[in-house]
Amino acid sequence: MTTGPRISDDDRRARLGRRHLLAPALRATSVEAVADALVGLHATDPATVFLSACARLAEPSPAEVERGLYEDVTVVKLLSMRRTIFAVSTEVAPCVNSSTARTIARRERAALLKSLGGSWDGRRLAEAERAALDALAARGEATTAELTADVPDLQETLVSSPGKPYEGRQSVGSRVLRLLASDGHVRRGRPRGSWTSSLYPWAPAPSLPEMPEREAKAELARRWLASYGPSSEADLKWWTGWGVRDTRTALADAGAEAVRLGHGPGFALPGDTGPVEPAGDWAALLPGLDPTAMGWRERDWYLSPDHVPFLFDRAGNVGPTVWWNGRIVGGWAQRADGEIVWRALADVGREAVAAVEAEAGRLADWLGAVRVTPRFRTPLERELVR
């Protein structure tokens, strides 16, 4: 029988509004504060970082996000949890790097060597990496194409799934630069285009302090529980991509306490087992892949299972979502003329409609002439833009 204090779904939703900076009175003043509140911002789609941050900034500004990413470099992107790119503050980066990113980098290296076949070995790969770093140092920053032109070895082509209908080709250069990024040697610079662009150059990355792996895992578990807890072991395992043993060890090392959630057993940080005062009514329009929508594996306490087919693609990526007081209640999209349109998937009441409309206006104001199309299209988003 599960023991420990009971944490209701209402209590979890109250924490979400406060800790994810979604209640208007609790919005942040810096992109670093937003990243830390969520542990990290999903960065697979470049636009997500900006949309997620600005939804939680008291004064939404792409320039503020660019400052952290490209000027002060106080927010860095790491291939980490679930083999996903996250933008994390330099305060959080060491524990993310040592707890998850290093393991992924080792796997990426092994996979690349396997793909390269017998014509490459560890020594040749290391030489190609050094040559790429030397070329980058000479240029200051450069795209993959520019570095590939500088380093002949990077010009070779990899063929994946040869002979299959889905056969693909990729330059060795793109894989080597991805590996160098996984190892923390290079970072993504300011894109050559708007902040929605994926055409970015590479730049040398600041070195990150090393942490013992077990200590780093415990620190990441503490931070996740502080932002997303109380929650279940299964949620932390899914969010990090760790195995069961590592997840349980990290929870124990973090001093997590057993609690009872609405659907079963869970864990909370010490002292985080009492009720939380709601932050007042709030509405939010969050982008596809936003960390709040993607923060848990078990989502019934904030998302009706009936709404999943409208809001997620077949690979499990969430699209743009509309929130009211801790629940996903619909989805939104931006049309070609810039209009922000949304649809509720349940009756939310006039007060919620007014609050969502106000948030849609706020979003349209700071987006201005920028047009955003999610990288992962979902059924409701596609329908709204027709």
Range of the domain at 141: 121-204
Distance separating alpha carbons of residues 361 and 68, to the nearest angstrom = 26
Helix (H/G/I), strand (E/B), else coil: 203: strand
pLDDT in tens, 89-115: 999 999 999 999 999 999 999 999 988
Whether residue 174 lies inside any domain: the answer is: yes
Give the residue-averaged pLDDT of 46-68: 98
Mean pLDDT of the chain: 95
Distance separating alpha carbons of residues 4 and 1, to the nearest angstrom = 10
Residue 118: the pLDDT is: 78
pLDDT in tens, 119-168: 889 999 999 999 999 999 999 999 999 999 999 999 998 877 666 676 67
Whether residue 154 lies inside any domain: the answer is: yes
Whether residue 147 lies inside any domain: the answer is: yes
Whether residue 143 lies inside any domain: the answer is: yes
Residue 166: the pLDDT is: 62
Give the residue-averaged pLDDT of 11-35: 97
Please report, rounded to a whole number, the percentage of residues in the chain having pLDDT higher than 90.
88
pLDDT in tens, 176-196: 999 999 999 999 999 988 999
Residue 110 has phi, psi (to 5 degrees) of -65, -40
Total tally of structural domains belonging to the chain: 1
For the entire predicted model, the pTM comes to 0.94
Kind and range of the H or E run holding 170: strand 168-171
Residue 269: the pLDDT is: 97
Distance separating alpha carbons of residues 6 and 257, to the nearest angstrom = 12
Whether residue 255 lies inside any domain: the answer is: no
DSSP assigned state of 41: E
Whether residue 210 lies inside any domain: the answer is: no
